[in-house]
Amino acid sequence: MLSDTAAQPWRQEVFDVLKAAGVKHIAYVPDAGHATAIRLAEADPDIHAVVLTTEEEGIGYLAGAWLGGERGALLMQSSGVGNCINTLGLAAMARMPLLMVVTLRGDWAEFNQHQNPMGQATEAALRLMGVLTWRADRPEDVAPLLRGAATMAFDGDAACAVLLGQRLIGAKEWVK
């Protein structure tokens, strides 16, 4: 049986790109779509992997890391974007770099109808808050889009998000 990383190398690439971009802090709410990057961040002694109780905490945490001279990234699911609307104003007003990697739910083949409203509104909500967005639906798009977003976030003091489409991460299945 192939490991998750061997079966889908883009999952490893998410971590590799963040590490190469000098990310020292990865804030996250647990999510199966980010499991590989989270596991690798937790195992890396040079990265502070911080589990959050809610996604907007990550923006405050990453603001503190930035003020301390270090880079960070926020890993979350699309359902958490709605929780961040108010705190995304901090990134806009402070012109702080903010790099987010968002796994989409309610996007394609979704079994949980409660994921659909925010899943469909995620990209528009981020853009309304001044976040630059790029969407990856194919494995070969993940690393280049994330590298570009990291450059724009960290070198251009911009709020940026790479959206990982549900066709890329795979359809969730209801397990009884």
First-to-last alpha carbon distance for the chain, in angstroms, is 23
Nearest to 11 by CA among 171, 170, 175, 176: 170
Question: Which amino acid is residue 14, in one-letter code?
Answer: V
Q: The CATH number of 4-169 is which of 3.90.78.10, 3.40.50.10090, 3.40.50.2000, 3.40.50.970?
A: 3.40.50.970
Query: pLDDT at residue 9 above 70?
Result: yes
Bridge partners of 102, per DSSP, are 76, 163
Count of other CB atoms within 10 angstroms of residue 95: 11
For the chain, give the number of residues: 176
Mean pLDDT of 37-54: 98
Are the C-beta atoms of residues 27 and 52 closer than 8 Å to each other?
yes
Q: What pLDDT, on the 0 to 100 scale, is given for residue 2?
A: 34
- Express each pLDDT in 92-108 by its tens digit: 999 999 999 999 877 87
Mean pLDDT of 126-154: 97
Residue 4 confidence class, pLDDT cut points 50, 70, 90: very low
